[in-house]
Every structure is written in structure tokens, then in C-alpha cells.
Amino acid sequence: MAKPELEFHSPTAEWTRANEVSTTPGISDQVLSHDPVTGDKTALQRYDAGAETPPGVITHEFWEEVLLLDGDLYDVGLDRTFTAGMYACRPPGMPHGPYRSVGGCSMLVVTRYPA
């Protein structure tokens, strides 16, 4: 099965605690589309003001593309703040983070597992 065919619509999925940081309050996902066979996913992710990921560098086994839609996201490891309009493309295994957001932010996140 592939991701579903969807024409423009208002997303209605519930916001849930983000899987990648499920122990962290204040970070949530709204899944827009998902392929249950491959695990590929497109989602909105938001950080509440003051939210942060657990300490430590983040890596994962999938490609990740992120577009910061609004707000601020501070990368503790890089000592750098990212803002609206900034984009990241991370291949599997690329270290990044940890993160925190002073004022909160929202992002479009696309993940794809290697074939």
C-alpha cells in the first residue's frame, strides 16, 4: 500500500505526542499521510513554548525532511537557532539535536525509509 490519494482538505487527524520523543511533553504530531507498509510519513509537528527533546544527539534509520513553518527551534549541539522558512534534509544516521524552542514552533516533517 502507498500513501493514500488525497485532494486538498483540512486535516482532521488528532494531535498526538510525537513518537520520536514520546517521553517529552509539549511536542506533538498531526499525521497528514502514512504508508503502514513502508513507514513513510508526512506530518505537522509542533513544539509548545519551552518544549525540548531529551538530552543527547538524535539519529534515526530514515530520511527526514523538515520545513520550519513558524517560530524558533534551537539546536543545542550546534548552538544555533533556526527560524521560519528554514529547511533541513537528513539522510539516515545523520546526527542532529537535541532541540528546544523558546516561543514554540511548527514544522512540516516528511520521513522516508530506504528501500
Write down all domains in the chain, each with its CATH number in brackets: 31-112 (2.60.120.10)
Is residue 95 packed enough to be buried (19+ CB in 10 Å), middle (13-18) or exposed (0-12)?
Answer: exposed
Q: List phi, psi (to 5°) of 21.
A: -135, 45
Strands 63-75 and 105-112: antiparallel
Alpha carbon separation from 110 to 46, 55, 80, 90 (Å, rounded)? 14, 23, 22, 10
Mean pLDDT throughout 18-42? 85
Higher-confidence position of 88 and 2: 88
**Quick check: 48 and 65 in contact, CB under 8 A?**
no
The conformation of residue 102, written as its DSSP 8-state character, comes to: S
- Round to whole Å and give the CA distance between 50 and 60: 24
pLDDT band at 16 (very low <50, low <70, confident <90, very high): confident
Report the percent of the chain where pLDDT is more than 70: 95
- Round to whole Å and give the CA distance between 26 and 45: 10
Residue 20, pLDDT > 90, answer no
Residue 46, pLDDT > 70, answer yes
